[in-house]
Structure 1
Amino acid sequence: MTEEQEQPVFLDALFRQKRKHGKFRLVEPPRLEGAVADTHAHVHLLADPALEFARCAVWGVDFVCDIIDVQEDAPEVFDRFDGWYVEAAERLPQVVECTREVLAAGGDAVTHLPDGALPAAFVLPEGAAARPLPRLRLACGVHPHNAKFYDDAMEARLVARLADPRVCAVGEIGLDYHYDLSPREDQRQAFRRQIRLAHETGLPVALHVREAHDEAFAMLHEEGFPAAGTLLHCFDLDWGTLEPWVEQGCYVALGGALTFKRCQDTRDAVARTPRNLLLTETDSPYMTPEPMRGVPCGPAHTVFTAACMAEVLGCESAAARAELLAQLRENARALLDRPPTAWQQAHAPAAVNERNCE
C-alpha cells in the first residue's frame, strides 16, 4: 500500500499538509477574486470523485476537464461521470457542514490536527453550500506511454469516444522520451495518427511532451497545428523551450510545478507569456502544489496555482487579480468548453447525455 493510500479519509473541503506521526496541518487556501478552471485532471483516479467535485464547488473551481486514456481506463469510466456529478450535488451540503464542524472543533485527535494548527483567519467562502458544481468536459486519447498498443482497433475505440459531445479535446497525446515506456517510433506513429484525428474531428489537442519538445513541435508543423488549438500540458521548463510554442499561438497550462522552489525558470517563462495563452491545471492526483506535497492532488488545488500565477505576473491588487482570473477562465472555456464540432454532431451516439456540455 502506498503512503497516499494509507492516509486518513477526510470528508470535508479542507486542504492539509502532511506532518510527522500521522498528523496534518490545515492550509488556508488563497482568497481569490474569481472562479478558476482545472484544464487537466484525472478525477476518476481519485478515491472519491464525487467528493472532489463538491470540494471544487466550495472553493470556486467552476470548470474541470478530465483526461481519459483509451488503453488504461476501463470503458465504463466514461459513463460514471454523470452519476458522480449527481452524487456531488447531493453531498455538497454535507461536505460544507463537515467542514464547519472541523473548523469549530479546532485541533484534536479525531480530525488529525495538532493542537493550535487551525489558522485564526480561516473561514469558509460565503454561501459555500449553494455554489454551483464545476462544468465537466472530457478529453480522450492514448498517452505516449501506451503508444506501443496503438493499432487500428484502438483507434476505432478512440474515434467512438471522440464522437461523444462531452469530449472537448484529443489528449493527452505526444512524446515522452524521459521514461520511454513505449518505443520512440511507436510514440511518433501514435502521435501522428492522433494529430490527424484532431484535424478530422475539429478538436484541439492536449499534449504530454517530456524531453522531446523540439521533435513534437516539428511533427506538429509537418502535420499541421490543429485549427481548434494546441494545449501544452504540465509545462515546467524555461522560456527558451516555451517561446516557439507561444509564437505558434499554443496554450500553455501550468500546474503544481509552478509553485515548486526548483521551477524559477518556469515562473520566468510564465511572466513572458501572453496572458491570453495561459491556463491553470492540476494533473490530479499528481503534482500537488506547495505546501501540500505528499498528499493526493484534487481539482480544488487549482486555487493555489492560480494564486501563484497572479503573484508571478505582479497582480498585487484585488482588481488586477480579478482581471487575470477572468482572463484565465475565459482562456479555458474558449479552448475546452465549446459546442460539439460538426464532426461530433454527425457522429454522436444517440444515447449520450449532453446535460453537461449544452
Structure 2
Amino acid sequence: MTRFDDDLVYFDLLFRQPRRHGKWRPVEAPVLGVPVADTHAHLQLLASPPLALARAAHLGVDFLCTIVDVWEDGDATFEHLEQWQAQARALLGQLRALPAGESGPVLLPGQGLAPEGLPAVAKSGADAEEPPLLSPGAVRIAVGCHPHNASHWDDALEARLRRLLADGRVAALGEVGLDYHYDFSPRDAQQDVFRRQIAIAHEFDLPLVLHMREAHDEGFAILEEEGFPEAGVLLHCFNLDATEVRRWVERGCYVAFGGPATFKNADEVREAVRQVPLERLLTETDAPYMTPEPMRGIACEPAHTIFTAAVLCAVRGFGLGTAQAQEFLAQLYSNAQRLLNRPRPLA
C-alpha cells in the first residue's frame, strides 16, 4: 500500500476541498452532537498519525480501529501507538489555540509533528480533559494478511500473525478476504490464505474484517463452508447495491460504509445503507484512501468520518441536530464498541 507522506499537511482544524492549480476552499464540517467511530483506518500510512489523531479527537471521533498488514506494515503501529496518542494530546492544545477559521502553517514532508515557533499551551478547564480518542484503549488494532499479500503466506508469517493477535490491543483479524480486481496474488493462494485466517479467527475468538473486491460470491461461499466466526464479521468498505448487502446481513454481518456512500454517482450504495439493520451499521474511512465528498482528491483521514456519518443520517431520513439523528448515530457508535472494543488481556 502507498504511504501518503508526500502530501502537504496543514496544521489546523480546517477541511479543504481541492480546486485546480493547487488551490482549495474551506469546507464546513457537519455538527453531529454525538461521538462517532472510525472502524477502519490505516494510521501508519498517514503523513502524521499524531496530527490525524488530534484532528479526529477534536471533531468527535472517539473510537478508532487501525489496520496492520502482517506482511508489509512492520511493527510501527504496535511500537508507537501510545506515543502517537501522547503526541496528539500535545498537538491538540496547539491546534485549538490557532485563530478559528484561519488556515494554519503547512507541514512539508519530513518536517516533523508541528511547525516551529508555536507556543506551548497550558492545559486548563475543558481543554485539560483528555479527549476520549486519545485515552488508553480508544484506538484498537486489526491485524491480518491482506489478499494482495497472500502469495507471501508461509509458516513464519502465520507465526508472526499469531504473535500479534495475542496482543491485548488487537480487536479483530483483518483485513482479509479476496481481491479479484487487482489479482496481486493468485486466486487460489488468496482463497487458501482466507480459509486459514478464518480458522485462526475462530481459534482466537476474534471478529473478522473482510476485504472483498469483485469476489463477493466466492468469499461468501468460503465463509459458508468454513463458518462465520461467532465473534462477528465486518464487511469493510461496502460499495455495492442493496441486493448484495442483503445476504451478508442475513448471516449477521456488520457492514461499514465510508467514502463511497458519499460519492455523487453512488445511489446504489446509499440504497444499500437503507437495507442494513440499524444494529449492524458502521462508519469508517479507510484512511488514507476513499476520501468522502466534498474532499475527494486529497488524502483521507479519520476526522472525515463525520462527513460519512452525516450522509448516513440523511439517507436514513434524519436531519442533523435532531433527537432522531443523535439516537441513530449513538447506535452506530455502540455497534462499533460492541464489535471492536471488547476487553482482552494484554499479552
TM (norm. structure 2) is: 0.89
Within the alignment, does 1:312 sit opposite 2:347 as a pair? Answer: no
Q: CA deviation at 1:283?
A: 0.1
- 1:81-128 deviation digits (Å, cap 9, x = unpaired): 111111111111001113xx262x57x9x78xxxxxxxxxxxxxx957
> Which residue of 1 is the match for residue 242 of structure 2?
239
> Which residue of 2 is the match for residue 55 of structure 1?
55
8 Å CA contact 1:16, 1:292 repeated in 2: yes
Higher alpha-carbon deviation: 4-13 or 186-195: 4-13
- 1:183-212 deviation digits (Å, cap 9, x = unpaired): 000000100000000000000000000111
> What's the Cα RMSD here?
2.1
Q: Provide the C-alpha distance between the structure 1 equivalents of 2:67 and 2:7, rounded to a whole number of angstroms.
A: 25
> Which residue of 2 is the match for residue 263 of structure 1?
266
Q: Given the superposition, is the C-alpha separation of residues 158 and 289 from structure 1 closer, same or farther in structure 2, using an over 3 Å criterion?
A: same
Q: Provide the C-alpha distance between the structure 1 equivalents of 2:58 and 2:42, rounded to a whole number of angstroms.
A: 19
Q: Provide the C-alpha distance between the structure 2 equivalents of 1:9 and 1:210, rounded to a whole number of angstroms.
A: 30
8 Å CA contact 1:41, 1:299 repeated in 2: yes
> Which residue of 1 is the match for residue 165 of structure 2?
162
Q: CA deviation at 1:71?
A: 0.5
> Which residue of 1 is the match for residue 303 of structure 2?
300
The partner residue of 1:336 within 333, 337, 340 is 340
> Which residue of 2 is the match for residue 132 of structure 1?
131
Q: CA deviation at 1:133?
A: 4.1
Identical positions, percent: 54
> Which residue of 1 is the match for residue 115 of structure 2?
none
The partner residue of 2:284 within 281, 284, 297 is 281
8 Å CA contact 1:92, 1:129 repeated in 2: no
> Which residue of 2 is the match for residue 115 of structure 1?
none
Q: CA deviation at 1:78?
A: 1.8
Q: CA deviation at 1:323?
A: 0.5
> Which residue of 1 is the match for residue 111 of structure 2?
none
Q: CA deviation at 1:231?
A: 0.1
Query: Residue type matched to 1:132 in 2?
Result: P
- 1:150-190 deviation digits (Å, cap 9, x = unpaired): 11110000000000000000000000011100000000010
Q: Provide the C-alpha distance between the structure 2 equivalents of 1:177 and 1:269, rounded to a whole number of angstroms.
A: 22
Q: CA deviation at 1:215?
A: 1.0
Q: Alignment length, in residue pairs?
A: 324
Q: Given the superposition, is the C-alpha separation of residues 199 and 191 from structure 1 closer, same or farther in structure 2, using an over 3 Å criterion?
A: same
Q: Provide the C-alpha distance between the structure 2 equivalents of 1:131 and 1:303, rounded to a whole number of angstroms.
A: 20
8 Å CA contact 2:5, 2:45 repeated in 1: no
SS, match of residue 80 in structure 1? helix
> Which residue of 1 is the match for residue 11 of structure 2?
11
Within the alignment, does 1:95 sit opposite 2:110 as a pair? Answer: no
Within the alignment, does 1:252 sit opposite 2:255 as a pair? Answer: yes
Residues 188-199 of structure 1 correspond to what in structure 2 (within 5 A)? 188-199=191-202
SS, match of residue 181 in structure 1? coil
> Which residue of 2 is the match for residue 120 of structure 1?
none
Within the alignment, does 1:83 sit opposite 2:83 as a pair? Answer: yes
Within the alignment, does 1:144 sit opposite 2:143 as a pair? Answer: no
Q: Provide the C-alpha distance between the structure 2 equivalents of 1:89 and 1:241, rounded to a whole number of angstroms.
A: 42
Residues 19-58 of structure 1 correspond to what in structure 2 (within 5 A)? 19-58=19-58
Higher alpha-carbon deviation: 214-223 or 75-84: 75-84
Residues 155-234 of structure 1 correspond to what in structure 2 (within 5 A)? 155-234=158-237
8 Å CA contact 1:53, 1:133 repeated in 2: no
Q: Provide the C-alpha distance between the structure 2 equivalents of 1:128 and 1:259, rounded to a whole number of angstroms.
A: 32
Q: Provide the C-alpha distance between the structure 2 equivalents of 1:209 and 1:170, rounded to a whole number of angstroms.
A: 15
Query: Residue type matched to 2:68 in 1?
Result: I
SS, match of residue 272 in structure 2? helix
Query: Residue type matched to 2:271 in 1?
Result: D
Q: Provide the C-alpha distance between the structure 1 equivalents of 2:264 and 2:63, rounded to a whole number of angstroms.
A: 27
Q: Given the superposition, is the C-alpha separation of residues 172 and 6 from structure 1 closer, same or farther in structure 2, using an over 3 Å criterion?
A: closer
Q: Given the superposition, is the C-alpha separation of residues 6 and 336 from structure 1 closer, same or farther in structure 2, using an over 3 Å criterion?
A: closer
8 Å CA contact 2:5, 2:46 repeated in 1: no
Query: Residue type matched to 2:57 in 1?
Result: A
